[in-house]
Amino acid sequence: MKAYLDLVRSIFEQGAWQDNRTGVRTLSLPGACLRFDLRQGFPAVTTKRLAFKAAMGELVGFLRAADSAADFRALGCRVWDQNANENRAWLDSPWRDGPDDLGPVYGVQWRQWPAYKLLPADAAARIEAAQARGYRVVGPVQDGGAPHVLLYKAVDQLRACLDALIHDPGSRRILFHGWNWAQIEEMALPPCHLLYQFLANPATRELSLCLYIRSNDVGLGTPFNLAEGAALTHLVARLTGYEPRWFTYFIGDAHIYETHVDMLREQLDREPLPAPRLHLSDRIPAYADTGRYEPEWLERLEPADFVLEGYRHHPPLTAPMAV
């Protein structure tokens, strides 16, 4: 994958050394962008072996709103073990609920974003309108000395995106994100890949994704996140009647950990191989073929439903994850 290697070169050539919370220095570059035409293949790194099954396990965990490292392990993904059980700040946090707990990370925000409304008790029309949109009354509260009503619902952002692709595909508001300021302190790790915007072209029946990542570990995280974002685009396209097209990957802080330098320099010496293809299991319904909208498949997926075909790669390379 040439674009990935070009990013690595740019960081080596233009990045600056910085200290950070992990204690492992990074060579950091502010602002980076990768762009892939998904018609030309799947953006899997080929200069080392991509842990594709683990990446798909993590994606499925996100889709299921997993909040425990044990949930991810059951799906074949162990990348959350250290953040759950070895991060000193999280181990000391009053929000941690025992071994393997992660708090309301990623998928919890994607699928169960906690939404509240505090309305005056006499605002009957507003309360009724909120209830019509799925809010339920939690109870009466006093605010500023006046009686109010607190209402709550869990917002399924991802499902709302699929609904919009079916009913309002020309919208430029089809997005979801995971940066919930009210719950950041309750998470083992705040979201890095945090904003996903779907852009549909109803005329060509093509679906594109723009993904913004605030902070990206280019050695270990970028290959994982590229695979997950591209696979999600394929999946959402299948469920809503589109063909996957452009995948644009924006990074705020693109960095290489000092402990990853040797691994990445070795990759730069390797020739990238042709991109593989992604095959989605035939059991996942294609809206374009059936005409039936079945968003419940977001919860039915298994990691084995995602298969890389024709994936050729160089030998594996490993490096420690900074926590």
Q: Check residue 195 and give its pLDDT.
A: 98
Q: Check residue 170 and give its pLDDT.
A: 97
* Summary mean pLDDT of the chain: 98
Distance CA 92, CA 80 (A): 17
Residue 143 falls inside a structural domain: no
* Tokens of residue 213, six digits: 């990542």
The helix/strand count (H/E) of the chain reads as: 12, 11
Is 256 annotated as a binding-site member? yes
Q: Check residue 293 and give its pLDDT.
A: 97
Q: For position 223, which CATH number holds? A: 3.30.572.10
Rounded mean pLDDT of 303-319? 97
Distance CA 207, CA 97 (A): 39
**Integer distance in angstroms from the first to the last C-alpha of the chain?**
27
Overall domain count for the chain:
1
* Tokens of residue 70, six digits: 């044990």
Residue 163 falls inside a structural domain: yes
Residue 133 falls inside a structural domain: no
Residue 272 falls inside a structural domain: yes
Phi-psi region of 318 (alpha: psi -120 to 50; beta: other; left: phi over 0): beta
Is 154 annotated as a binding-site member? no
* Tokens of residue 252, six digits: 């705020």
Is 20 annotated as a binding-site member? no
Distance CA 168, CA 242 (A): 14
Distance CA 58, CA 214 (A): 19
- Residue 206, class by beta-carbon neighbours within 10 Å (0-12 exposed, 13-18 middle, 19+ buried)? middle
Q: How many CB atoms lie within 10 A of CB 259?
A: 16
Q: Per-residue pLDDT for 119 more than 90?
A: yes
* Tokens of residue 173, six digits: 């508001």
What phi, psi does 148 have (nearest 5°)? -130, 170
Residue 136 falls inside a structural domain: no
Is 87 annotated as a binding-site member? no
Is 255 annotated as a binding-site member? yes
The pairing of beta strand 243-257 with beta strand 206-217? parallel
CA 41 to chain centre: 20
Rounded mean pLDDT of 176-186? 98
Q: Per-residue pLDDT for 134 more than 90?
A: yes
pLDDT tens, residue by residue, 252-277: 999 999 999 999 999 999 999 999 99
Q: Check residue 194 and give its pLDDT.
A: 94
Q: Check residue 1 and give its pLDDT.
A: 84
Confidence of residue 323 (pLDDT cuts 50, 70, 90): confident
The pairing of beta strand 206-217 with beta strand 193-201? antiparallel
Q: Per-residue pLDDT for 229 more than 90?
A: yes
Q: Buried (b) or exposed (e) across 161-181, using 16+ Cβ within 10 A?
A: bbebbeeebeeeebbbbbebe
Q: Check residue 150 and give its pLDDT.
A: 98
For the annotated catalytic residues, the residue numbers are 192
Is 173 annotated as a binding-site member? yes
3-state secondary structure 218-260: CCCHHHHHHHHHHHHHHHHHHHHCCEEEEEEEEEEEEEEEHHH
Provide the greatest CA pair distance for the chain: 69
Residue 299 falls inside a structural domain: yes
Beta strands in the chain (DSSP E): 16-18, 26-37, 113-120, 136-143, 146-155, 175-177, 193-201, 206-217, 243-257, 277-280, 306-309
Residue 321 falls inside a structural domain: no
Rounded mean pLDDT of 128-146? 97
Q: Name the pTM for this structure.
A: 0.96
Its domain, for residue 225, covers 2-112+156-309
Do 223 and 45 form a contact (C-beta atoms < 8 A)?
yes
pLDDT tens, residue by residue, 20-79: 999 999 999 999 999 999 999 999 999 999 999 999 999 999 999 999 999 999 999 999
Is 322 annotated as a binding-site member? yes
Q: Check residue 213 and give its pLDDT.
A: 99
Residue 165 falls inside a structural domain: yes
Q: Check residue 257 and give its pLDDT.
A: 97
Rounded mean pLDDT of 269-297? 97
Residues with Cβ within 8 Å of 101's Cβ and at least 6 positions away in sequence, in order, are 67, 68, 69, 84, 188
